[in-house]
């Protein structure tokens, strides 16, 4: 377990992609700081199971990452509990779909705050700890929408494009500090959030389940396959290995060929 003795902070890790990344890092021996939303009892079950399965310490810290004070409190809690953050995974995100002339300004503000500003603040606060320990990994969950746009997603697309730019800048600044920074950019990922969209889409478009999956959700992915959360977890683990020490500033697509078109 090559990450034994290191601590990973993964935002949005109570379910979905973030949970899979946290679990994969824990499997390699990293202690985990979880944060995210959900039912308190279910979150505790998830936390306890991860700790028991992998024999690591797993802490859950509730935090409102749409507010700068929330991100600052999260990082301070991680530092207090584990002394430092060695691996930072900025994964938490949110979405809203509306035409630009109908897009609620408050939704824009929330999406930019969570998807972009929280990542900036987490990097700003964790980098000194990584520098002090002479090692670090920053992994930002971006999206195919960091490389391509879709209509009605102005805030999300803007935030993900900016996150990719932030990642490149941080990578260049830290290039000689043994700290790497990379994006992972998935297309559609098979999570409960996506699965739960299918019945409403079937009803609205008068399509079968199979038609929704192939012609709506996977219309832009040539492989016609969902990315699995576990695949993203495995990629995150690789980015932490010594073999990836010269991979920095990258935007790594895992989108079934979406952005190759």
Q: Which of 241, 239, 217 is nearest to 144 (CA)?
A: 217
Q: Residue 204 has what pLDDT?
A: 79
Sheet holding 179-186, edge to edge: 58-60, 31-35, 7-11, 87-90, 136-141, 179-186, 251-254
User: Which tens digits make up the pLDDT trace of 230-248?
Assistant: 999 999 999 999 999 999 9
Q: What is the residue extent of each domain of the chain?
A: 7-189+228-260, 190-226
CA–CA–CA angle 197, 91, 49 (5° rounding): 85
User: Which tens digits make up the pLDDT trace of 97-120?
Assistant: 899 999 999 999 999 999 999 999
CB 256 within 8 A of CB 214: no
Q: Residue 216 has what pLDDT?
A: 85
The domain 7-189+228-260 is classified under which CATH number: 1.10.10.10, 3.40.50.300, 3.40.50.720, 1.20.140.10?
Answer: 3.40.50.720
The torsion of the CA quartet 14, 20, 23, 25, rounded to 10 degrees, works out to -120
Task: Report H helices in 134-228.
Answer: 154-173, 192-195, 198-205, 209-212
Angstrom distance (rounded) from CA 34 to CA 16:
13
DSSP 198-211: HHHHHHHHT--HHH
Q: Residue 193 has what pLDDT?
A: 74
The burial of 153, by beta-carbon neighbours within 10 Å (0-12 exposed, 13-18 middle, 19 or more buried), is given as buried
Q: Residue 191 has what pLDDT?
A: 87
Other Cβ atoms less than 10 A from the Cβ of 215: the count is 13
Low-confidence ranges of the chain (pLDDT < 70): none
Q: Which of 182, 252, 232, 250 is nearest to 12 (CA)?
A: 232
Does residue 152 have an active-site annotation? no
Among the listed residues 60, 108, 156, 258, the single catalytic one is 156
Bridge partner list, 254 = 186
């Amino acid at each position: 377990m090559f990450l034994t003795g290191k601590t990973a902070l993964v935002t949005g890790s109570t379910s979905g992609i973030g949970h899979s990344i946290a679990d994969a890092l824990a499997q390699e021996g990293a202690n985990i700081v979880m944060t995210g939303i959900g039912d308190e009892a279910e979150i505790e079950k998830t936390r306890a199971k991860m700790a028991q399965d992998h024999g690591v310490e797993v802490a859950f810290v509730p935090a409102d990452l749409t507010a700068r004070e929330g991100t600052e409190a999260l990082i301070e809690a991680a530092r207090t509990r584990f002394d430092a953050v060695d691996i930072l995974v900025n994964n938490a995100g949110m979405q809203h779909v509306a035409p630009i002339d109908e897009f609620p300004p408050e939704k824009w503000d929330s999406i930019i705050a969570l998807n972009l500003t929280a990542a900036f603040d987490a990097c700003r606060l964790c980098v000194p700890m990584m520098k002090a320990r002479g090692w670090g990994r920053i992994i930002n969950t971006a999206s195919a929408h960091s490389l391509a746009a879709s209509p009605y997603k102005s805030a999300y697309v803007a935030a993900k494009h900016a996150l990719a730019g932030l990642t490149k800048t941080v990578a260049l600044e830290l290039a000689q500090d043994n700290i790497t920074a990379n994006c992972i950019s998935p297309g559609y990922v098979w999570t409960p959030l996506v699965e739960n969209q299918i019945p409403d889409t079937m009803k609205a478009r008068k399509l079968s389940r199979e038609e929704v999956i192939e012609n709506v959700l996977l219309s832009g992915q040539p492989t016609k396959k969902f990315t699995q959360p576990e695949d993203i977890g495995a990629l995150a683990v690789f980015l932490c290995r010594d073999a990836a020490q010269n991979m920095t500033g990258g935007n790594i697509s895992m989108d079934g060929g979406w952005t190759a078109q």
